[in-house]
Amino acid sequence: MRIDIPFEVVFTVTQKSMNLETISWSGTLAGHARLLDQTLLPLQHVVLEIRDVDAMRDAIRRLAVRGAPAIGVAAAFGVLLALRGLDDHTPTNVVGVVREAAATLAKARPTAVNLFWALDRMVARAEAARAEGQSGEAIGETLFAEAQAIAREDAQACERMGAYGAELIADGATLLTHCNAGALATAGIGTALAPIYCAARAGKRVHVFADETRPLLQGARLTAWELARNGIDVTLITDNMAGKVMQEGRIDAVFVGADRIARNGDVCNKIGTYSVATLARAHSIPFYVVAPLSTFDPSVREGAGIPIEERAADEVTQGFGRRTAPEGVRVYNPAFDVTPARLVSAIITEAGIVREPDEARVLALLRGAGVDPDAPRAHSGRRPGT
């Protein structure tokens, strides 16, 4: 994985500082985005200032910011960056610039639907503001408020998901999680880790086994670090140890996040999630997915229609700069896999819990939360023909 920093470094802090935001906006509409560079954790804590659309696209692409909800917030902030220093503030030009920025950002990564959801929301808000007769300057301020709302709503959703999920965690439970779906992946306290934090707040004793999550070690570098820093008892294991700890009766439940959930309840998440779900089913262990409504993509009928990002071979052959495989060996490096809905015990959202998810239950959840599952999506990221 490349860990060069093609942006301005604002500051570096020691490991003992906990009050770092994953993503934030500094100042007014004329300001800029600030990201915690997650490629450098846990050894270095570096905050980056992102001042243009291309820099935001590259930050998303190289995983400086990652996690589906955080990517959505980053996309919204990226649209705002397109308006910095704009000379022509006619409404038509402002909306055109917004559309162009959205098209650029949509190319950053193909799988996490929150990226496209946020871009669609920003473009739709710009077009609605123009239709309302707002000036170009007013459209910019409207979009600034919209981006802030996306970040704020994500933080609120994390709290609600945490509260729902905590009810499924018994005092003294031992849980397993894969990849990182905590505060580092959102604008709040996380998705899969939110129930753990809320259970701990309520005084429950919780122990977590964290898969290291190859090849980029998000579980080792991010989840183990985040949980330990927040006082959660955590044990790190390699991915191929998950079956062993389940077989030994150590695991009471699995909690994971999601990057996209299809209309039928199939869940796309970090590579290796399907293996964990299969193991959990074999050992009669509940497998819970925690994700906000913005991660559902009802335009994709089943998991086979979700585009799966394939990343560079050197993430596998020479991760973090050290070669561990022979030169020239062929590599297959999908970043995500799909867990069939039949392996999911429940999906926990900010609007409630969907047990044994299928298309009817997913659509009922969305409609009950005021989401039109059949509304068109301009940047859905679907595979052709699905």
DSSP string for residues in 38-71: TTSTTT-EEEEEE-SHHHHHHHHHTTSS-SHHHH
Q: What does the DSSP assignment read for 225-273?
A: HHHHHTT-EEEEE-GGGHHHHHHTT--SEEEE--SEEETTS-EEEETTH
Residue with tokens 């429940």: 346
Q: How far apart are CA 338 and CA 262, in angstroms?
A: 10
E strands, the chain, are 8-13, 23-26, 32-36, 45-50, 173-177, 206-211, 233-237, 253-256, 260-262, 267-270, 287-290, 296-297, 336-339, 346-349, 352-355
CA 136, chain centre distance (Å):
32
Lookup result for tokens 């509304």: 375
Cα 197 from Cα 165, distance rounded (Å): 10
Distance in angstroms (rounded) separating the CA atoms of residues 293 and 114: 9
Max CA distance (Å), the chain: 66
Following DSSP, what letter does each residue of 196-208 receive, concatenated? HHHHHHTT--EEE
CB 25 within 8 A of CB 80: yes
Q: Establish whether the linkage from the previous residue to 340 is cis, with ω within 30° of 0.
A: no
State the Rg of the chain over Cα.
Answer: 20
Other Cβ atoms less than 10 A from the Cβ of 29: the count is: 15
CB-side exposure of 192: number of CA atoms within 13 Å? 31
d(CA 88, CA 83): 10
Phi then psi for 223, rounded to 5 degrees?
-65, -50
- Phi and psi at 175, nearest 5°, equal -120, 160
For the annotated catalytic residues, the residue numbers are: 259
